Amino acid sequence: MDTDESNFINNIFSYLVDSYSYVVEKEKKTAEIETLNSAIETLNTSVEKLKDGIENIFDDYEKSHEDFDQYRIQAMKNLEQIIDQYLSKNSNKILSEISGLNAEKEKASENSTRNMFNFLASSTLKTLSSEIILDNKSGSVLISEKYSCDLNIEYSFQLDSENNEFTVNPYFSSLYTGIRIPVDYSNESNEIVYRYENMDKFIIRSAEISGNVLNSDFESDEDKSVFKFSFDGKSVDILYLQNSISKKILDDAVIMKVINIGEINESMAKLYRILKSLDNSKTKLTELRLDGNDLLSDSDFGKLFYKLIETDTVKNIIKNLPDNSENGEEMSKDFIKHRIHTIGKNVDQINSILFE
């Protein structure tokens, strides 16, 4: 078993098993809460029946004792107070239990998501593609990283955008100050006069790194003109948009005589490095999909666990493991069986999948 296989199988039977175990715990707490809610409904119904029964007894007694009416009203009032005290005491006891179970359920949900975060952040799944995406269209910089993996697994992380000089002040000037890009020109007295855009006033609105290519959009605070940059690590393409005008800056031979491509390349390379450096600052799991279906909203992580353990890759790795280990903690078939047992659900089914 090589290092990649070892990390993969270890992460499945540590983080992923823990994540699924907490899902099972959450399911159990949910079932207990539903049982207690039914108990409250049953208690309320039985108390109402008790009141109705007592009232019927008084009604029957009053039929043969006409002078009982004045006592009947007071008696019912006193009895209802006593019964309501009984109902309140028992209801509050059940509601307190429900409150405690809800807290445990929420904690189980948090632990499940945290372990799923750790499993996915370990990067042991086979990645087909990944993108880092910056969005500043709402006035707040949000950066995420999206992965597409083997077995039709997709997931996204939110990245830390609060502790970086550029994301705190997302203007072009944070990358490189004083850059002026020529966007147009005119002939005046046999002399070419260029019109420049000062990039210091442009704020980033979006960016995406896919593969080794960085695409980014910067918008002017003043007239909403936009520069679209595409940078492949060596060279940059620039598209300028203003109102209905669209211009490929580098296709203009006259502009190419005065534009400082080196400064722009350096700016885009810096932005690329900034965004790539955030790969190590994952803060939150924001999306998890399997076969296009959302697993994160309802913590439906068991589906991912079964998807992985049913693969030939996992089965073959386990097949070649020793039956047990000397200290009982190293990866072995016995260790995996122990970890499966901690899930507390479908243990025989899981064992039959892995050890058939």
Inform me whether the pLDDT recorded for 187 exceeds 90. Answer: no
Inform me whether the pLDDT recorded for 213 exceeds 90. Answer: yes
**What six digits make up the tokens of 69?**
């009416």
pLDDT value for 328: 58
Q: What are phi and psi of 110, to 5 degrees?
A: -65, -45
* Mean pLDDT (the chain, rounded): 92
pLDDT value for 51: 87
Domain regions of the chain by residue span: 3-121, 164-280
Q: Specify the pairing of strand 213-220 against strand 226-231.
A: antiparallel
Inform me whether the pLDDT recorded for 22 exceeds 70. Answer: yes
pLDDT value for 218: 97
- Cα(82)–Cα(25) distance, integer angstroms: 39
pLDDT value for 329: 60
pLDDT value for 327: 65
pLDDT value for 222: 87
Find the mean pLDDT for residues 220-234: 93
Find the mean pLDDT for residues 1-12: 86
The DSSP string of 103-118 is HHHHHHHHHHHHHHHH
- The more confidently predicted of residues 84 and 330 is 84
Inform me whether the pLDDT recorded for 35 exceeds 70. Answer: yes
Q: What are phi and psi of 175, to 5 degrees?
A: -95, -45
Closest CA to 101 of 27, 168, 38: 27
pLDDT value for 58: 85
Q: 295 falls in which pLDDT band (50, 70, 90)?
A: very high
Helices then strands, counting H and E runs in the chain, come out as: 10, 12
**What six digits make up the tokens of 76?**
């019912």
Tell me the pLDDT tens digit for each residue of 123-172: 789 999 999 999 998 878 999 999 999 999 999 999 998 888 898 899 99
Low-confidence winner among 182-191, 212-221, 269-278, 333-342 (lowest mean pLDDT): 182-191
Tell me the pLDDT tens digit for each residue of 256-275: 999 999 999 999 999 999 99
pLDDT value for 46: 92
Find the mean pLDDT for residues 338-351: 93
pLDDT value for 127: 93
pLDDT value for 72: 82
Inform me whether the pLDDT recorded for 223 exceeds 90. Answer: no
Inform me whether the pLDDT recorded for 326 exceeds 80. Answer: no
Tell me the pLDDT tens digit for each residue of 109-118: 999 999 999 9
**Burial (CB count within 10 angstroms: exposed 0-12, middle 13-18, buried 19+), residue 135:** middle
- Cα(318)–Cα(331) distance, integer angstroms: 9
Find the mean pLDDT for residues 76-80: 88
- Which residue's structure tokens are 């009416």? 69
Find the mean pLDDT for residues 295-303: 94
